Amino acid sequence: MASKQKKNNKDQFPERLRQLRVTKKMSQEELGQLTNLNYNHIGRYERGDSRPSADKLKALAEALGVTTDYLLDGNSDNAARVNLEDQELLEMFKRVQQLPQEKKESIKDLIEAYLFREKIRKDIHIITK
What is the distance between the alpha carbons of residues 63 and 35, in angstroms, rounded to a whole number? 7
Q: Which residues contact 81 (CB under 8 A, 6 or more apart)?
A: 65, 66, 67
Fold of the domain spanning 2-78:
434 Repressor (Amino-terminal Domain) (1.10.260)
Asked whether the predicted pLDDT for residue 1 surpasses 60, the reply is no
* Boundaries of every domain in the chain: 2-78, 87-128
Query: pLDDT: is 52 or 70 the higher one?
Result: 52
* pTM of this structure: 0.55
pLDDT in tens, 67-92: 888 888 877 654 555 445 667 787 88
